[in-house]
Amino acid sequence: MISVFGKKFFIIILCSLVLYTGFLVYSDLNVVFEKFSAMDFRYIPIICFLFFLGWIILFLRWYFLLNQAKIKIPFKDNFLIYISGFSLSIAPFKSGEFLKSVLLKNKFNVDRTKSFSVIFLERLYDITGALIIAVFGIVTLGIEFVPVLFLGFILILIMLYLIYSKKILFINKIFNRFQILQKFVLPVENSRQFIKECTTRRTVIISICLTILYRLIEGFAIFVILHSFGIDVITYLQITVDYAVSVIIGAVSMFPGGIGVVEGSLAGLLTLHGLEFKVGLIIAVVIRLFALWFSVLAGTICLKLVMPQK
């Protein structure tokens, strides 16, 4: 397991712990204790179930994209491999999920060009779905997120550029910095044409719809988290839009897992609804414990199950 994750993975976890500790100290430990004392822990199973339900939706999107790529593997192994990808989702832009490509190659000899293309498309649809939710927030709620939308559109344009442009050598340099990603340099170069073949109108529509459904379920899980703290001044649509916007900001930042950026931006957005920034920061950290670190834990467990025993 250690050989899979490498030192960078554990350094990121350590830095995250230090950062979260700093957030909580800044928020005042008395306030932190007060908020956690007020949390209704009976909601935790519901929250975990909702996030798991969201993973099922993402897996259906993955399963659909694999079928489009004519990749057929046993359902159980497929599910374990997909969730295993979460174990490295704290890598920049969730690039660690390309671990799924390694597992597919090692266990079922799946061409990395195909699996890389599917994973790249997942990232494209993730940002597109979050952007659509953010646009919905502007149209229906009158929330001004124009700068964020601009950044989101720029990010999507960059990804489309990577698909249709031959000038992507700098991506190889980025991948070569991470030992676990070095194997993908050649697949990156060979995947562009395959991605084009997988972006039919039907595929795009179905994938984006599944992504939006995932974002809505994720938003409801976060809404339940707010409710568990007795916070009722923020509506379901508002928190769904707020989190989608913070995810876009985190993706644009290229920080590992958007750690620190997502929490800080979400805390700032929560202040727009009347919460104190210190309180918003505590809530944001709790939300990320479920939205990010719960999936990392589940992914690590599934990775242990799917990897061959020595």
Q: How far apart (Å, rounded) are the C-alpha atoms in residues 216 and 267?
A: 20
Q: How far apart (Å, rounded) are the C-alpha atoms in residues 83 and 9?
A: 17
Radius of gyration of the chain from its Cα atoms, rounded to whole angstroms: 19
Q: How far apart (Å, rounded) are the C-alpha atoms in residues 53 and 34?
A: 30
Strand extents, DSSP E, the chain: none
pLDDT of residue 2: 40
Range in 70-74, 164-168, 268-272 the model is least confident about: 164-168
Residue 309 has pLDDT above 60, yes or no: no
For residue 70, count other CB atoms closer than 10 A to its CB: 8
Amino acid, single-letter form, for residue 285? V
| CB contact set of 227 (below 8 Å; sequence gap of 6+) | 43
For residue 75, count other CB atoms closer than 10 A to its CB: 9
Q: In this structure, what token pair is assigned to residue 17?
A: 């712990």
**Contact at 8 Å (CB) between 283 and 229?**
yes
For residue 157, count other CB atoms closer than 10 A to its CB: 10
Residue ranges of the domains in the chain?
Answer: 2-306
Q: Tell me the per-residue pLDDT of 277-302, one tens digit each, with 9 for 90 and over.
A: 888 888 998 999 999 889 989 998 99
Average pLDDT, the chain: 81
Q: How far apart (Å, rounded) are the C-alpha atoms in residues 65 and 61?
A: 6
Our CA angle for 306, 309, 310, nearest 5°, is 150
pLDDT of residue 194: 72
Our CA angle for 125, 152, 235, nearest 5°, is 85
pLDDT of residue 228: 94
Q: In this structure, what token pair is assigned to residue 188?
A: 């990156």
Q: In this structure, what token pair is assigned to residue 293?
A: 């670190």
Answer left, alpha or beta for residue 72, where phi above 0 means left and psi between -120 and 50 means alpha. Answer: beta
Q: How far apart (Å, rounded) are the C-alpha atoms in residues 69 and 82?
A: 16
Q: How far apart (Å, rounded) are the C-alpha atoms in residues 16 and 33?
A: 20
Burial class (CB within 10 angstroms; exposed 0-12, middle 13-18, buried 19+) of 277: middle
Residue 131 has pLDDT above 80, yes or no: yes
Q: Mean per-residue pLDDT for 69-91?
A: 89
Burial class (CB within 10 angstroms; exposed 0-12, middle 13-18, buried 19+) of 168: middle
Q: How far apart (Å, rounded) are the C-alpha atoms in residues 224 and 73?
A: 36
pTM, 2 dp? 0.81
pLDDT of residue 49: 98
Q: Tell me the per-residue pLDDT of 270-281, one tens digit each, with 9 for 90 and over.
A: 998 889 888 888
- The residue whose two tokens read 């646009």 is 135
